[in-house]
Structure 1
Amino acid sequence: MLDILFQDDYLVAVNKPHDLLVHRSTIANDVAEFALQILRDQLGRKVYPAHRIDRKTGGVLLFALDKDAERAMQQQFADNKVSKKYLAIVRGYTDDSGKIDYPLRKENGTLQEAFTAYTTLHCAEIQVPLGKHDTSRYSLVEVSPTTGRMHQIRKHMAHIFHPIIGDRTHGCNKQNKL
């Protein structure tokens, strides 16, 4: 059962736990449960995802309750009338704020524009040696993508040498073991 945060006649917002796919995918054939299916069964009606978030990401996920609401929400996202904000712990001390303008490659090889802004909320240094350093430094950042590319935040933060802690694909596996 998913925790419903908001519901009206057109939309429902749920708290998607990490490690749950939004919908069935060919890249995860072994997965039996999806947010779409769980919510559909929970409400007893069809639901339509207005957007997606990565499997390993937890947070607010918005579903439309009919096709018209789905189209309207997708248009809102396309027109950047909806903002998305994420919190991430990244390796190292980040600048106070920044904008990342770095195109990302689709699976078919085509480059797509991708823009991400971030603001540093807090920095911390812990007395745990890692590699040649006597301590480990981290930043808590609020990240706001203005485009919605696959793994955009993960790829962008790694691109500026501040990979997200826990990201096994684009991150630092030595840091992930802490």
Structure 2
Amino acid sequence: MSVVQTISVKPADADQRLDRWFKQHFPALSFGHLQKLLRTGQIRVGGKRAKADYRLLAGDQIRIPPMGEMALPMKKPLPAPPRSEDVQMLQDAVLYKDDHVIVINKPPGLAVQGGTSIGKHLDGMLEALRFGASDRPRLVHRLDKDTSGVLVLARSRQAAAALALSFKDRKTRKTYWALVTGVPSPNEGEITSMMEKDGEEDERVRPGDKGLKAITEYKVIENAGNALCWLALRPVTGRTHQLRVHCAQLGTPIISDGKYGSEDSFRDGISSKLHLHARNIVIPHPVRGTIDVTAPLPPHMRETWALFEFDPNMRQDVFADD
């Protein structure tokens, strides 16, 4: 482009940093060049100089100086549309939906995002959950591929920012259910450790002297003798594989956990799928009130609960502050 442009910020792009807006709309423009254009006042918002961290408002007028081919948006290849069976699977998994938020019951075995050797993932199929909105929903947190249960999606940039802040500020309460090997002693408590990556490519982590602090509350709901027990887990922090590592630290690894468990974690007559489920989430709604959603157990855990005559319909709010 060899002429000055003026672009009006759309409502969907509001509450976004100016530099991220440029990254989204003009990805060919390098960060260094953007900084120079801002520093010299060639890029302006509302006729005034602006900094990279300026938060855009709907209707803001952004002056785009002549930048040649760097001002031309790069066309990204469109992802392949999800298969009809995947569309049906995801839409059937919806537990809650309004104009701002969608909550689904993620099935076990479905990765949330792509990566090495991951072809099929939720992020690549979110078009199936658009439901007529102008944008496809956005991820605001993650679950492990093998973990099932409640997963929150935002239907706008503003909702995504508000939900992400609720996770960051620990205003979100999550309760997980797990079947573990053995019974922890004491039957309830809190486990705290530092967690660091152990250098492998599969995101494996381990407790150590460095890394990030991880805190989990736990409580035994019911046990099958001394061999197995049903645990309720509440992550105070949200570290990678936190619950799986903490259960192993308690000496009670999660059943069928091939990453952090042992041979004893796999039992005859019990599914080889991981027995960890995000059962419930309570999170401030981005506009009003609170969202409180509970996810039914996946089929393999329902079968195990039936095997031990555990009641899958019992209340999930077993922690004292609920």
The bucket for the TM-score relative to the shorter chain is 0.7 to 0.9
Q: 1:78 aligns with which of 160, 168, 171?
A: 168
Which residue does 1:152 correspond to in 2? Answer: 242
Which residue does 1:10 correspond to in 2? Answer: 100
State the distance in 1 between where 2:175 and 2:189 align: 14
Pairwise mapping of residues 9-158 of structure 1 onto structure 2 (< 5 A)?
A: 9-25=99-115, 29-43=116-130, 45-94=135-184, 95-106=186-197, 110-125=210-225, 137-158=227-248
Whether the 8 Å contact between 1:51 and 1:74 is mirrored in structure 2 is yes
Deviation readout 1:89-108 (Å, 9 max, x if unpaired) = 11111232110011111367
Query: Alpha-carbon deviation of 1:175?
Result: 3.1
Aligned residue pairs: how many? 165
Q: 1:168 aligns with which of 255, 258, 273?
A: 258
Deviation readout 1:21-59 (Å, 9 max, x if unpaired) = 11112xxx3332212222323426422111101100000
Which residue does 2:306 correspond to in 1? Answer: none
State the distance in 2 between where 1:113 and 1:174 align: 28
Deviation readout 1:75-133 (Å, 9 max, x if unpaired) = 001111111111001111123211001111136795101000001000103xxxxxxxx
Whether the 8 Å contact between 1:36 and 1:47 is mirrored in structure 2 is no
Give unmatched runs, 5+ long, in structure 1: 126-135
Let me know the Cα RMSD of the aligned residues. Answer: 1.8
State the distance in 2 between where 1:54 and 1:104 align: 16
State the distance in 2 between where 1:86 and 1:114 align: 16
Whether the 8 Å contact between 1:87 and 1:140 is mirrored in structure 2 is yes
State the distance in 2 between where 1:83 and 1:6 align: 17
Whether the 8 Å contact between 1:165 and 1:175 is mirrored in structure 2 is yes
Deviation readout 1:134-160 (Å, 9 max, x if unpaired) = xx6111000000100000000011111
Whether the 8 Å contact between 1:4 and 1:12 is mirrored in structure 2 is yes
Whether the 8 Å contact between 1:124 and 1:137 is mirrored in structure 2 is yes
Report the TM-score when normalising by structure 2.
0.49
State the distance in 1 between where 2:231 and 2:128 align: 35
What is the letter of the counterpart of residue 120 of structure 1? V
Higher relative contact order (CA 8 A, sep 6+): 1
Which residue does 1:129 correspond to in 2? Answer: none
The DSSP-based 3-state class of the residue aligned with 1:39 is: helix
State the distance in 2 between where 1:99 and 1:174 align: 24
